[in-house]
Amino acid sequence: MSDNKAEVSGAEERTLNFLEEIIEEDIKSGKHDGRVLTRFPPEPNGYLHIGHAKSICLNFGLAKRYGGATNLRFDDTNPVKEDVEYVDSIKDDVKWLGFEWANEFYASDYFDQLYEWACELIRRGKAYVDDQTQEEIRKGRGTVTVPGTESPFRNRSVEENLDLFQRMKNGEFENGARVLRAKIDMAHPNMFFRDPLLYRIIHTHHHRTGDKWCIYPMYDWAHGQCDSIEKITHSICTLEFDVHRPLYDWFIDNLEIFPSKQYEFARLNLTYTVMSKRKLLELVKNSYVTGWDDPRMPTISGIRRRGYTAEAIRNFAERIGVAKRDNVIDFSLLEFFVREDLNKRAERRMAVLNPLKVVITNYPENQSEELEAVNNPEDAAAGSRMVPFGREIFIERDDFMEVAPKKYFRLAIGQEVRLRYAYFIKATDVVKDADGNIIEVHATYDPASRGGNSPDGRKVQGTIHWVSAQHAKKAQVRLYDRLFTRSDMDNLTEEEDYKDFLNPDSLKVIEALIEPDLANHAAGKTFQFERIGYFCVDSDSSEQQVVFNRTVTLKDSWAKIAAK
């Protein structure tokens, strides 16, 4: 590997990102004996989303690239919001993305050590117990332009602080009665240095430690020390934590422990999406969506259920790269990588979403046949299948016009079209209902054109898909689209409510007709419905009804809609 290049997908090379430059320089200098150990530290208080997927790909990908390892560490420091359900879902998501962690740890594994280190800060005169209320502490911090005010309890003796802190631990005080704060500088320009909270009292059962603890460490206190205990070499966080880094270093320096280092990169922001856990939880709890795994949600479980592939997500994360400045990625770029991946792997099938019956009048009655259809033109190994054909078929209503305008190459009266894998047909007349709506098309076929080509060499410009009326199965198809109508959901004013921009057309449910083979596949299997898009068998499917989720359309139709 050269000094300025990193290997990507075989022989192709690209410029190193800034994290790779840091790691390569550390390896070159012999720092940490050339060892690379990263960690992914999710809070088990919700399901992971696409932004977390980028972080997962980065942390695990960097470690793998440089022969290192990654720990999965749950930041379980707030038992009020945590649940084993979230722990299990996070582990499933990381595995689904294709990664394995070296060790599974929890911040709660280190509660005893964190407590001892807090006592050590007290003994060194660098922490104290504060009896002020939360509101008094908030006001006492001051503002960016106004220095904070020292707590009246700031100069308690070491002995008193140790006694009160132990009594906090022993459960003698109610929630909110006291906190432990670091003793740093109430006039510091970095607000995080104005005597930050280290511990608060929470009398709540913890999903791993039970009722052993009633004091719990704050993120800024636990994060760096957990990294140090595990001897993490490169602690990679999103950009909003850059102002926390000096405090991260202060704790490590003052405890004189292993010097883990924090590095920040820009978080992933997507158009037409919110990724605030609070907002996502509100969408779930108030039934704006069906759950955390609703295919419209940006959660990993949601996009997985929708039919997105892990490889597409990894390729997307690689493509958008690692930046030092926040930016917004267009949702259509993510869909591009989904299409690119599914085009290679998804087998083709025929389905009709808006059926119109066609009767082939010169095809023998009570006769049917099977025609060979290619499963995937991008993958010869996928083979072929047999598709039933008969006198009556269904086509898409949009594929017929009684009178064809110029450059309309689909089926029309007197106009010939190719049926995919089958025959040439020509429409002769229509049947209409009392309101003048076309309910049936009559056509003739050319028996010599079996397979889609005519011996006389004549050409037809249009090819349409179809299903046999006699053999077709019914399926529920869920047409998913953007969850929000506004692209810049992160730039709302204080007066604007993000829920006001929910897309009323983000889900349409229809009954479609599918070729028989589509009725017998396991949940998660993805197909390309020819000429329509990619669809995934949903977990709601049963023997009585198969359900498909639209993963993504064949082309980016949203860009045209949004431009109008």
Catalytic positions, please? Answer: 43, 267, 277
List CB contacts of 41: < 8 A, sequence separation 6 or more.
Answer: 73, 74, 75, 107, 223, 226
**Residue tagged 């060499």 (tokens):** 457
Q: Are strands 507-514 and 473-480 parallel, antiparallel or unpaired?
A: antiparallel
> Phi/psi of residue 528, each to 5°?
-100, 120
Select from 518, 51, 561, 553 the least CA-distant residue to 338: 553
User: What count of other Cβ atoms lies within 10 Å of the Cβ of residue 315?
Assistant: 19
Select from 89, 72, 45 the least CA-distant residue to 300: 89
**Residue tagged 């049947």 (tokens):** 431
292 touches 47 (CB < 8 A): yes
DSSP assignment of 148-214: ----TTTT--HHHHHHHHHHHHTT-S-TTS-EEEE-S-TT-SSGGGSS-EEEEE----BTTTBTS-S
Show the tokens assigned to 43.
């809070």
206 touches 213 (CB < 8 A): yes
- Angle between the N-to-C axes of helices 310-320 and 50-65, in degrees from 0 to 180, rounded to the nearest 10: 80
Half-sphere exposure of residue 480, counting CA atoms within 13 Å on the CB side?
25
Q: Is 554 exposed, middle or buried (0-12, 13-18, 19+ CB in 10 A)?
A: middle
Kindly report the three-state secondary structure assignment for every residue of 261-320: CEEEECCEEECCCCCCHHHHHHHHHCCCCCCCCCCCCCEHHHHHHHCCCHHHHHHHHHHH
DSSP-H helix ranges across 353-510: none
CA 36 to chain CA mean position, Å: 27
Query: How far apart are alpha carbons 335 and 331 in whole angstroms?
Result: 7
Radius of gyration of the chain (CA): 31
CA distances from 221 to 64, 109, 180, 266, 502 (A): 29, 15, 11, 23, 38
List CB contacts of 276: < 8 A, sequence separation 6 or more.
Answer: none
β-sheet bridge partners, residue 547: 476
The amino acid that residue 512 corresponds to is: A
β-sheet bridge partners, residue 424: 418, 446
105 touches 113 (CB < 8 A): no
